[in-house]
Structure 1
Amino acid sequence: MAENQRDIENPGDDGGNEAQGPYHQIICKAAKRGDWESAKQILDINVKYACDRITKGGDRALHIAAAGKHSEFVKQLVMRLNPEDMELKNDRGCTAFCYAVVSGVVANAKVMIIKNRNLSTIRAYDDMIPIHQAALLGHKEMVSFLCTVTPFQELIYQERIELLEATIRNDMYDEALNFFHKDRRLASARLKGNRSMLNLLARKLQALTTEKQEGVWRKFVGSTSALFSTPLQNSTQEQSSPTSCKARKLLEEMWEEYSNLTEKFAHLIRPQQILHCAAKEGNDQFLDMILHTNPDLLWELNEKRQSILHVAVLHRQEKVVRLICNIHGYKDFITLLEDKDRNNVLHLAAMTQTTFCRDNNENPLPDEQLTQRAKEQEKIMPQSLLRLSTAALQFDREISWFKDMENMMPPSLCDMLNDDDRTPKQLFSKEHMSLKIEGEKSIRDTAKSCMLVATLIATVTFSAIFTVPGGNHHEGAGAKKKTVFTVSDAVAMIYSMVSIVNFLSILILRYTEDNFHVALKRLFMGLAALGVSIAGMLVAFTAAFFLVYNKALVPILIAVFSGVPVALFWFLNTKLWFESTASMFRNLYRFIQQ
C-alpha cells in the first residue's frame, strides 16, 4: 500500500524510462480508447501521471489521445496540463501537437494552441514545422487553421519554398496565394530537379483540367474534335471548377512577378523550357495566358531547335495547335522552321513513339536498351490516343491528325525532305507500318467473328419464317401476335444479311491510308446491323412464346429476360460505338471542308 502511495506521489521518478506501473497502464489503455472517465480517476489522484512516458517511444497520454483522434479526451486532458507540459516531446522529437496536426483533427489542434501559442513553431524530429506536415498530408482545413497561428516571418526561405510547393501539390490554392502574397520572391524559387514553381503550377493546372470527369455526351463531342471548333463543341465547353480558377489566379500572379524579373527572365525561361513542357502536355490555358502578353516567346526553340508549335504537333496536342494558329502573323513564319534533323511540322505529325525505339541504323533496340531508352525519352502519343479501344481506331486517328495538319500547312511543306531523304508522307507510311498491320488485323478478325454470328442468325430466322408456332391459322389477338412474329423475324433475317455484306466487303477491301476509314465505317455499319438483327430475333422469339402460351405468365417472363442480350450487346460495345461514330464525324467534317 505504501509502495502504491509513493508511486502516486512521484510518477515522474522512473529515470526517463517508460512508466510500467499499473496506473500508467490504465492511462495508456484509456488514451487509446478515448475513455476519459477511466483516465480521470487516476489523474484525480495525481495529475502528473499525464506527463509520464507511458510507451517505449516516450509518448505521453496526450500523444496517444491526439493520434487516436479522441477530441473529448484531448480537451479534458489539456485543461489539466500546464502550457509547458504541452511542449514535451517523445523519442522521435514530436510533441502531442504534431500528432494532432498529422491526424487532421482541427478541434484537437485548436484546444492545444489556445493553451500554448508556441506549439505552432516547435519543429519535429526532422526539423519540420507543423504546418508543413499538414500541407504534405493534404489536410486543407488544418493548414487553413495553422495559417492563422503560425508566424510566417519566422520561417526561413527554404521552408517557405517547401511549404508553397506542398500546398500547390495538394491543391490548396487559397493557402498558396496567401503564402505567395507574403513573399513574392517565391515566384523565382527553384525546386528539386532544377524546376521552377511556375513549372509546377502549370502542370497542376493541366492536371486539374484533364482529371475533371465528363459526361458521356461531352466525351463524344470532345472525341470528334480535331483542329476545328464547331458550334456543337462550343456549346458543350466545360465551365472551370473553383479549384482550377484559383490555380489560374495564382499562376497569373506568379507569372506577372516572374516576367518582372527582366534581368533573369531569359535565363529562367530557356533552361527549363517551361513553354515547351506546357505544349507537350496540352496546357493551352497556361500558354494562352503567357502568349497573350508575350507573343514573341513563340520563337523560343528547345535543344532540338523545335518551336512550341513543333512540340504541340509532335505530341498531338490539338488545343495548343489551334491556339497558336489563331495568333495572327506568327503561324505562317513558324511553320517554315525546321529542327536540327530538318524535320518540318508535317514530318513531326508523321512520327510515332516508335521513333525512339530504334538505333541510328534503323535496327530495333534490345529489350534492356529499350527499357532504358523508354525512361530517357518521352513517348509521343498522348494518353487520349492510347486509350482508344483498338489499334484500328488509333491508326485512323493518326491519319486524321496528319491530314488535318496537311490542310493547315502550306503545300510546299508536303514535298520537303528531311535528313533521311523522306517526305512527310513517306515518313508517315514508314512510322505507322506496324500500327497499320495491327489495325488491319483487328478489323479483319472482328469482321470474321461477327460474320459467323450473322450467318447463324440468317439461317435460323430464314427457317423460322415458314414454321409459325401454333399453326398458320390465328384470329383476333393471335393474328396480331403472328404479325409481330413475322415482321420481327423478317427484320432479323434482312439485317443479318446486311451485316454479312458489310463484313464481307471488309474482308476483300484493300487497306490503304486513304481508305482505311472506309473499313471502319463498314465495320460500324455491320455491327449496328448485327445489333438490329439480334434484337429482331429476340422479339420474334418472344412473340412465339405469346402465340403458344397465350396469356400465361411464362411469355411475360421470357419477354423481360429477352431484353438482356440486346442490352448487353450495346452496353459492352459502348466505347466502340462512340469512338467509331467520332471517327466517322471527323472524316465527314473533313470531306465537307474540302
Structure 2
Amino acid sequence: MASSDSEKEEAEAAAAVAEEEARAREKQYWKYAPLYKAALIGDWEEAERIIDGDGDALTAEITQYKEIALHVAVATGKSIEFVKNLVDLMPVEALELNDSAGYTALNTAARFGNTDAAKILVAKHTDLLYIRNKDDWLPLHRAAQSAHKDTLSYLLMVTNPGCKTKKPIENDLEHMPPFEDDSGVELLVLVIASGFYDIALDLVRQYPQVAKSRFQHRCALGEMSKKVSAFRSGSHFNHWQSIIYYYAPVKVEESAEYSERGDIENPSNKCGVTAHKYNWTRFLERMFSFSERQKVKDMLWRVSELLVPPIKHIRELKLKHNQALKLVKYLCEQVRSLEDLEAYRSLARNPLLVAAKLGIHEIIEEIVNSFPTAILDQNSEDRNIFELAVIKRHENVFNLLYQMGEYKQYITRLIDNEGNTLLHLVGNKAPIEKLNVVPGAALQMQRELQWFKEVEKFVNPSYIEMQNDDGETPSTVFTNKHMDLVVEGEKWMKNRATSCTFATTLITAIVFAAAMTVPGGNNNTSGLPIFSTEKAFIVFLVSDAIALFMSTTSLLIFLSILTSRYAEDDFLYVLPHRLIVGFVTLFLSIITMIVAFSSTLCLMLGDKNSWLLSLVVTSACLPISSFMLLQFPLLVDLMSSTYGPGIFGKQSNRSFY
C-alpha cells in the first residue's frame, strides 16, 4: 500500500514538473515572439536589436517545435542576408542544434530547398553534412525526399563519400558513410522516387553496390518499376507530338551493346512516324559536315522551342525517358553481375511483376534480357507477366508476345491455381481506368471484345471451351462479367441513334419540301422551272437530291440501330459500323442541304446585294463547323476503333525471348 502511494506521489510530482516546464516554454515563446516574426519576414534590424539585448536569443527555442531563429529563417527563405548574419554571430557548435524532429539548420535547408542557406552553413561548419535527424536521414536524404534537385546536387558535390556520419544528438562517429550500405540504398531509392534519374545514374555508376542491395524491402529496381511516367509507354501523345518526340535530339551516352539493339525509346511505328529522313535533313547532309550539321540542327531545335514552347517540354520528356531506361539497364546489369538466383529473386522478381501490373514493358524487356528465366515467374496466384497484363489490360506488355518465337505457345497455355486459362482471365471486366480510356460504353464493350478475340488466337484451341474450378468456360465468364456493360452500351447507342433520328427526319422533310417547291416556280407554258437554265439551279437540284438520299439513308441506319438485338458480338463490328455510316450520311446530308440553300439564295439575289450573299453563304459554314467540332471527334474514335490497325501488334524488331 505504501509502495502504491509512493508511486502515485512520484507520478504527481513528475506531472507537476512537466506542467511547470510547459508553462516556462510557453512563456519563452511569448518572450521571443518578436524574434520569431523578424525571422519570418527577414527583418534583420529588429532581430539584431533583440539579439543585442538578449545573449540567449541566438540559441533560444522560439517555437513549439524547438526551433531556433536560424531554423525559421532558413525555412522561410525570405532573406539570405538574414541567414548569413545569424550564422556569422553563432558559434560553430550552435549550428548543430536541432529541433524536435532532430533537424539541424542544414537539414531544414535541405527540406525546403534553400540552397543558398545550405552553402553558407556548410562553408562555416562542414560537419553539418554528416549529422542525421531522428529518421536517421542526412541532409542529402532530406533534399532527395523533398525533391529539391538544386540543393541535392550541391550537397552531393560537397559531401565526402568516405566520411562517417553522426547521430543527431550523440556526437560519436559510429554511422556508415553516406553512400554505402543502407544509407546509400535509401538515398538512391529517394532520388529515384523524386524522378531525378540522371542523378541516380551517376550514383549507381560511382557506387554500384547500392544498385544490388535492399533496405527495408526497397531497392532501386523496385522503385523504378513503380514509375510509369518515367517511360515512353506511360506517356500518351497525339500524332504530331509523336513526330516531335521521335525526332527530338537528346544527349544520353549509350554503350555499344545498347546501340546495336536499336532504338528502344522509339520501337513502335504505330503512330505513323517513319524512320526515313526528311528532305531538309538530306539537304543538310549534302551541304555540311557532321559537326556543322549538328550545329544547324541544334539551332533549328532551339528556334523551334522558342517559337513553340511545347516542343521543349516533349524534348525534356524524351530525355527523362532515355535516362530512366538507361538506369534500368544499368541496374539489371549490376544485379546480373551477382550471379546469384536468390539475389535475382530478391531484387528483380518483384519489380518484374509490378511492371507487368503497371504496364511498363521497357522494364520487363530489360529484366528478361538479363534473366531469361524470369519470363516464367509467377505471383502468389500462379499468374505470369502476360496473365497480369491481360487482367490489367496493358496491351504494350501483351504485345511482347508478337516479338517472341514459338515459346509463346507454352507461356500462353499456363493455368493459374484457380484453373483459369489466359482466356478466362481476359473474360473479366477491365479496370475502370482502362475502360475510361475509350469514350462511351459501346466502344468500351467493343474494346473488351477485341481483347477477348485477340487472346483467343494465342491459347490452345481446347482451352476455348475449358472450364475453370468454378465450372465456367471463358465465354461464360465474359458474359457474366460484362452484363452491365452491355446494358450501358445499349443505352449509349440508343441515345445517340434517337438524337440523330430527330435530326435526319427534320432534314429529310426540309429537302423533300424544297424539291417540291423549286425556287422561282415553274413556267406556265412549258411547266419547266423558270431557273432551269441557270448553273445555280443545277447545283440546287443535285445537292438537294443528295441531301434527300443521304438523310433518308441515315434515318434508316439509325432506325436499324434502335431496333437491333444488341447481342454481345454486335458491339464488335455491326453496331459501330452502323453508327459510323449513320454519322457520315448525316454529315453529308447537312453539307448538301446547306449547299442547296446557298444555291437558292444565289438564284434569288442574282448579282444584286453580293455583299449580303457573301455574308449568308459564309454564315452557312457555321452549322458545318459546329458538327465537326461536336461530333467529328466521336466519329474519328469510332472509325479508328473499328477500321484502324488496333492496339495489338508487334512493337519493335527487338527479339523478346
Q: Deviations over 1:171-194 (max 9, x none)?
A: 1123223443454443454466x4
Mapped partners of 1:426, 1:44: distance in 2:
80
Shift of 1:500: 1.0
Decide which of 409, 422, 428 is 1:352's aligned counterpart.
428
Q: Deviations over 1:547-569 (max 9, x none)?
A: 56954766666555554443343
- Alpha-carbon spacing, 1:115–1:485, altered in 2? closer, same or farther (3 Å): farther
Decide which of 116, 122, 133 is 1:107's aligned counterpart.
116
- In structure 1, the residue matched to 2:365 is 288
What amino acid sits opposite 1:307 in the alignment? N
What amino acid sits opposite 2:131 in the alignment? I
- In structure 2, the residue matched to 1:140 is 149
SS in 1 for 2:363: helix
SS in 2 for 1:51: coil
Mapped partners of 1:35, 1:293: distance in 2:
59
Contact 1:455–1:496 at 8 Å: present in 2 too? yes
- Alpha-carbon spacing, 1:112–1:539, altered in 2? closer, same or farther (3 Å): farther
Mapped partners of 2:521, 2:86: distance in 1:
90
Q: Deviations over 1:319-341 (max 9, x none)?
A: 32332343324212223322233
- In structure 2, the residue matched to 1:418 is 468
- Alpha-carbon spacing, 1:381–1:125, altered in 2? closer, same or farther (3 Å): closer
SS in 2 for 1:144: helix
Q: Deviations over 1:22-49 (max 9, x none)?
A: xx7776555433455x459849977969
Shift of 1:399: 1.6
Mapped partners of 2:443, 2:82: distance in 1:
60
Number of aligned positions between the proteins: 536
Decide which of 246, 265, 270 is 2:343's aligned counterpart.
265
Could you tell me which runs of 5 or more consecutive residues in structure 2 were left unpaired when the two chains were aligned.
Answer: 1-23, 166-175, 244-266, 276-313, 524-528, 649-657
- In structure 1, the residue matched to 2:58 is 51
- In structure 1, the residue matched to 2:643 is 585
Q: Is 1:177 aligned to residue 186 of structure 2?
A: no
- Alpha-carbon spacing, 1:130–1:540, altered in 2? closer, same or farther (3 Å): farther
- In structure 1, the residue matched to 2:186 is 162
Mapped partners of 2:242, 2:624: distance in 1:
24
What amino acid sits opposite 1:523 in the alignment? L
SS in 2 for 1:408: coil
Correspondence 1:29-428 to 2 at 5 A: 29-35=37-43, 38-39=45-46, 42=49, 51=58, 53=60, 55-57=62-64, 59-74=67-82, 76-77=84-85, 80-82=88-90, 84=92, 85-90=94-99, 93-124=102-133, 126-153=135-162, 154=164, 156=176, 157-181=181-205, 183-190=207-214, 194=217, 196-204=219-227, 208-216=231-239, 233=271, 235=273, 241-259=318-336, 260-262=338-340, 264-265=342-343, 267-268=345-346, 273-349=350-426, 351-353=427-429, 380-381=430-431, 383-428=433-478
Q: Deviations over 1:172-222 (max 9, x none)?
A: 123223443454443454466x454422212215654344341256799xx
Mapped partners of 1:63, 1:421: distance in 2:
67
Q: Deviations over 1:493-538 (max 9, x none)?
A: 4332231122122233334444431110110121222233334445
Contact 2:189–2:219 at 8 Å: present in 1 too? no
Mapped partners of 1:147, 1:40: distance in 2:
33
Shift of 1:90: 4.8
- Alpha-carbon spacing, 1:471–1:183, altered in 2? closer, same or farther (3 Å): same
Contact 2:576–2:638 at 8 Å: present in 1 too? yes
Q: Deviations over 1:48-70 (max 9, x none)?
A: 69726484445555444333323
Q: Which has the higher contact order (CA 8 A, sep 6+)?
A: 2
- In structure 1, the residue matched to 2:577 is 521
- Alpha-carbon spacing, 1:120–1:560, altered in 2? closer, same or farther (3 Å): farther
Q: Name whichever of 331-340 and 520-529 sits farther off.
A: 331-340
Mapped partners of 1:51, 1:588: distance in 2:
69
Contact 2:233–2:361 at 8 Å: present in 1 too? no
Mapped partners of 1:437, 1:142: distance in 2:
56
Shift of 1:247: 1.9
- Alpha-carbon spacing, 1:131–1:457, altered in 2? closer, same or farther (3 Å): same
Shift of 1:393: 0.9
SS in 1 for 2:356: helix
- In structure 1, the residue matched to 2:587 is 531
Mapped partners of 1:236, 1:78: distance in 2:
61
Mapped partners of 1:81, 1:483: distance in 2:
95
Contact 1:28–1:54 at 8 Å: present in 2 too? no
- In structure 2, the residue matched to 1:496 is 551
The CA RMSD measured in Å over matched residues stands at: 4.2
What amino acid sits opposite 2:549 in the alignment? I
Q: Is 1:458 aligned to residue 508 of structure 2?
A: yes
TM-score, normalised on structure 1?
0.76
Contact 1:282–1:312 at 8 Å: present in 2 too? yes
What amino acid sits opposite 1:399 in the alignment? L
SS in 1 for 2:555: helix
TM-score, normalised on structure 2?
0.69
Decide which of 510, 530, 533 is 2:565's aligned counterpart.
510
Mapped partners of 1:409, 1:129: distance in 2:
53
Give aligned-pair identity as a percent: 30
Mapped partners of 1:277, 1:19: distance in 2:
50
SS in 2 for 1:461: helix
Shift of 1:453: 1.5
Contact 2:95–2:104 at 8 Å: present in 1 too? yes
